[in-house]
A and B are shown apart, each in its own frame.
Chain A
């Protein structure tokens, strides 16, 4: 029994998201391979080979893989599929885009966003926006799986090196063409990998008021998030959104400011280690999941918080 993991990368760097799948894979088998399908992705192959627990790296080098288009990446996984019991990727937008295509071509079901592994064919996964945990058993020969990153620790890079084997890739299918990627430029850490997240909701009242959130976030070296209400009101860009339909995060500290705590938001952050909430409505559902709640006006409290962080020498700016 061998597990194959599809690496997520930009040809120069292996995304940390992939490390979480390695941990999940090691719960299934001791034999874990990583496929790097890329274009001159040498540095990615090197990192992948150094991850603890990885026994082999497969490297398919072809310009068709440059942008990770599903139509081009799926065929190589399908051609390798027969040698594996499980094929995995982390449930990022990349993994979610590619893996169902692979599953359908192999004529197997996909197990989406698994959060725990019961045995080699039985898995639990959140459904109904995390309000329900469903345990399912797969009857297929090959299990195609996407892994919820926040449910498994990231594997670490060690000092050993797994062997690399070059594999023959496929040519460009020509079905789709990459045009551009607009990355939201930010000096702050990325939401899904940040240790601390400060999130603002409808209570912020405007996009301009987010400077108050920024002031606290920057002092804490934190990422900035938002509720769907704040995004839909146009306060912040959509990639700030934490929740069922946005990003699922699990930082060490999640500070929710002016967020009521709708089910759809809680689904995206309730696995955080500590949750603190500031809201002027003491009935807000966010307080039911918060470790520390402060019932107060955020416009008064956020500047105070920034000032107090400075006073205590906790500020990172």
Chain B
């Protein structure tokens, strides 16, 4: 079985986000970048499927400027076999990425595509579902457990209020939730090995995909700050405040 994993380069989740003073974007200058945490989980899951003998070939794909190759190298160091870099400097929105991934799927013919459920920068939570739609494939989003069997995948999904289990027909798109697995750290030998793995470079033009953004960003700003309140000295005082001032109990 062949697996495709999509990975995104985002600002590291530990970095405090700052907005540019002209309110056009988030300040990305000299900011530490990393693989989106949900994408790490996706790579981990694919590599585990390979290690358990369920898959033979794990391909990592990323789209964006030259720097996304660093993210692809991380995926290769974690255990992916080869990478595909769709090179473009245009701002990519989820629909465009889904179209690019569809073009890669048409070439590579994987049986499962695994993606993170959302990226921690734009928080869109769209690409996997859009890709499944464009391919007319089944989709299993927010996965916390995946069991592959002949022609199907049984996936447990984290839904509001509980866990839902569905069986999806392969080929399928699966998006990962936080508790699917704990991603490994790449070992030094594997990081060295990853440098020798192949990364194939493609362009949106080559794939005949129009990546023009559909949403125009007008303004990027910080949310209104919440005023900090008062420190109370005791349980009695806390209850007095909640009862008489806030009137919430």
**Contact surface of A with B, Cβ cutoff 8 Å:** 69-71, 74, 92-94, 96-105, 107-113, 122, 125-140, 174-184, 190, 192, 196, 220, 228, 238-239, 244-245, 247, 252-253, 263-264, 270, 273-276, 278, 282, 287-296, 301, 304-305, 308-309, 312, 314
**CA separation between A178 and B166, bound complex, in Å?**
5
List B residues 89-145 near A (Cβ within 8 Å). 93-95, 98, 120-134, 137-142, 144
Q: Which residues of chain B are within 8 angstroms of A287 by Cβ–Cβ distance?
A: 228, 231
A-B contact pairs, 19 of them (CB 8 A): A96-B125, A101-B139, A102-B133, A109-B93, A112-B124, A175-B138, A176-B169, A178-B166, A179-B166, A180-B164, A181-B164, A238-B158, A239-B161, A253-B246, A253-B248, A274-B242, A276-B238, A288-B226, A291-B229
Query: In whole angstroms, what is the CA distance A128 to B26 when docked?
Result: 9
Instruction: Answer whether A288 and B168 are a contact pair too, CB < 8 Å, given A130-B223, A131-B223, A238-B158.
Output: no
- B163 contacts chain A at the CB level, 8 A cutoff: yes
Asked if B243 is an interface residue, CB under 8 A from chain A, the answer is yes
Closest Cβ of chain A to B241, distance in Å, is 5
Residue with the highest number of chain A CB atoms closer than 10 Å, among B160, B169, B179: B160
- B182 and chain A: residue at smallest CB distance: A232
Tell me if B133 and A288 are in contact (CB < 8 A): no
Residues of A within 8 A of B238 (CB): 276, 278, 292, 294, 305
Do B222 and A131 have beta carbons less than 8 Å apart? Answer: yes
* Cβ–Cβ < 8 Å partners of A270 in chain B: 226
Does B21 count as interface, using CB distance less than 8 angstroms? no
Least distance between B167 CB and chain A CB atoms (Å): 5
| Dominant SS among interface residues on chain A | mixed
Most buried by B among A131, A134, A253: A134
Bound: A3/B126 CA distance, A: 21
Distance, CA A314 to CA B248, complexed state (A): 11
Residues in chain A near residue B186, CB distance under 8 A: none
Whether the pair A110, B168 counts as a contact (CB closer than 8 A) is no
- Chain B residues closer than 8 Å to A109, beta-carbon distance: 93-95, 214-215
4 nearest A-B residue pairs (beta carbon): A100-B129, A291-B229, A104-B130, A175-B138
CA distance in complex: A96, B233 (Å): 43
In the complex, chain B residues whose CB is within 8 Å of the CB of A74: 133
Number of residues on chain B facing chain A (CB within 8 A): 78
Interface pair B133/A292, CB less than 8 Å apart:
no
Which chain A positions have C-beta within 8 A of B177?
245
Contact assessment for A177 and B166 in the assembled complex, using a CB-CB cutoff below 8 Å: yes
Could you tell me if B154 and A179 are in contact, using CB atoms closer than 8 angstroms? yes
Q: Which A residue's beta carbon lies closest to that of B127? A: A100
Inside 8 A of B248's CB, which chain A residues have their CB? 196, 252-253, 273-274
Whether B235 contacts A136 by the Cβ 8 Å rule is no
Docked-complex contact B231 and A100, CB < 8 angstroms = no
The winner among A96, A102, A126, A314 for most chain B CB atoms within 10 A is: A96
B165 proximal to A (CB < 8 A)? yes
Known A97-B129, A175-B138, A309-B239: A132·B221 in contact at CB below 8 Å: yes
Expressed in whole angstroms, the Cα–Cα distance for A94 and B166 within the complex equals: 14
- B162 contacts partner chain A, Cβ-Cβ < 8 Å: yes
